[in-house]
Structure 1
Amino acid sequence: MKFANRLDLLRSNVFADMDRAKAKAVLAGQDLIDLSLGSSDLPVADHIITPIQDSVSDPATHGYLLFRNTQGFREIVAQWYSNRYGIAVDPETEVLQLIGSQEGTAHLPLAILNPGDFALLQDPGYPSHIGGVYLAGGQMYPMPLREENGFLPVFEEIPETVLAQARMMVLSYPHNPTSATASLSFFRQAVAFCQNHDLVLVHDFPYMDFVFPEGEDQTVAELAPSILQADPDKSVSIEFFTFSKSYNMGGFRIGFAIGNAELILALRQIKATVDFNQYIGILNGAIAALTGPQDHIIQNMGIFRQRRDAFIQAMQDIGWNVAKPKATMYIWAKLPEPWSQDSIGFCRQLVEQTGVAASPGVGFGKSGEGYVRFALVHPPEVLVTAVNRIAQFLQSSP
Structure 2
Amino acid sequence: MQFADRLQGLQSNVFADMDRAKEQVKSTGMSVIDLSLGSSDLPTAPFILEAIAQSLADTSTHGYCLFSNTRDFRETVAAWMHKRFGVTLDPESEILPLIGSQEGTAHMPLALLNSDDVALLQDPGYPSHYGGIALAGGQAYGMPLLAENDFLPVFADIPPATLARAKMMVLSYPHNPTTAIASLDFFKSALQFCQQHNLALVHDFPYVDLVFNGKPQPSVLQADRDRQLSIEFFTLSKSYNMGGFRVGFAVGNRQLIQALRQIKAVVDFNQYQGIMRGAITALNCDLNDDFQGDRHPIAQVLQTFESRRDAMLTALAAIGWQIPTPTATMYLWAKLPDRYAHDSVKFCLDLLKSTGIALAPGSGFGKYGEGYVRFALVYPPDILQAAATQIGAFFAQVD
Contact 1:209–1:222 (CA<8 Å) still a contact in 2? no
Which residue number in structure 2 is paired with residue 218 of structure 1? none
Distance 1:91 1:46 in 2: 28
> Match for 2:245: what amino acid?
F
Distance 1:3 1:224 in 2: 43
Which residue number in structure 1 is paired with residue 288 of structure 2? none
Which residue number in structure 2 is paired with residue 287 of structure 1? 280
User: Cα distance, 1:49 vs. partner?
Assistant: 0.5
Distance 2:248 2:51 in 1: 17
Q: Which moved more, 1:169-178 or 1:343-352?
A: 343-352
**Counterparts in 2 of 1:77-226, with a 5 A limit?**
77-213=77-213, 222-226=215-219
**SS of 1:338 mapped into structure 2:** helix
- Segments of structure 2 that go 5 or more residues without pairing to the other structure are 286-290
Which residue number in structure 2 is paired with residue 372 of structure 1? 373
Residue correspondences, number: 391
Distance 1:249 1:223 in 2: 21
Which residue number in structure 2 is paired with residue 333 of structure 1? 334
- Does 2:8 correspond to 1:8? yes
Which residue number in structure 2 is paired with residue 304 of structure 1? 305
User: Cα distance, 1:296 vs. partner?
Assistant: 1.5
Which residue number in structure 1 is paired with residue 351 of structure 2? 350
User: Cα distance, 1:393 vs. partner?
Assistant: 1.1
User: Cα distance, 1:83 vs. partner?
Assistant: 0.7
Which residue number in structure 2 is paired with residue 22 of structure 1? 22
User: Cα distance, 1:159 vs. partner?
Assistant: 0.9
Distance 2:216 2:105 in 1: 22
Distance 2:180 2:9 in 1: 28
Contact 1:334–1:371 (CA<8 Å) still a contact in 2? yes
Which residue number in structure 2 is paired with residue 269 of structure 1? 262
Distance 1:353 1:26 in 2: 12
> Match for 2:217: what amino acid?
A
Distance 2:9 2:299 in 1: 40
User: Cα distance, 1:303 vs. partner?
Assistant: 1.1
**Counterparts in 2 of 1:66-85, with a 5 A limit?**
66-85=66-85
- Segments of structure 1 that go 5 or more residues without pairing to the other structure are 214-220
Q: Which moved more, 1:49-58 or 1:277-286?
A: 49-58
**SS of 2:201 mapped into structure 1:** strand
Distance 2:268 2:351 in 1: 40
Distance 2:193 2:240 in 1: 33
Contact 2:101–2:248 (CA<8 Å) still a contact in 1? yes
Deviation per CA, 1:147-179: give whole Å up to 9, x if none. 000000000000111111100000000000000
> Match for 2:163: what amino acid?
L
Which residue number in structure 2 is paired with residue 316 of structure 1? 317
**SS of 1:77 mapped into structure 2:** helix
Q: Which moved more, 1:357-366 or 1:2-11?
A: 2-11
User: Cα distance, 1:8 vs. partner?
Assistant: 2.7
- Does 2:248 correspond to 1:255? yes
Contact 2:9–2:131 (CA<8 Å) still a contact in 1? no
**Counterparts in 2 of 1:231-246, with a 5 A limit?**
231-246=224-239
Contact 2:10–2:134 (CA<8 Å) still a contact in 1? no
**SS of 1:257 mapped into structure 2:** strand
Which residue number in structure 2 is paired with residue 43 of structure 1? 43
User: Cα distance, 1:255 vs. partner?
Assistant: 0.3
Give TM-score scaled by structure 1 length: 0.97
Distance 2:58 2:299 in 1: 33
RMSD: 0.9
> Match for 1:21: what amino acid?
A
User: Cα distance, 1:242 vs. partner?
Assistant: 0.1
Contact 1:97–1:257 (CA<8 Å) still a contact in 2? yes
**SS of 1:233 mapped into structure 2:** coil
Which residue number in structure 1 is paired with residue 388 of structure 2? 387
Contact 1:359–1:373 (CA<8 Å) still a contact in 2? yes
Contact 1:228–1:234 (CA<8 Å) still a contact in 2? yes
> In percent, how many aligned pairs have the same letter?
61
Distance 1:180 1:196 in 2: 26
**SS of 1:65 mapped into structure 2:** coil
Distance 1:396 1:70 in 2: 57
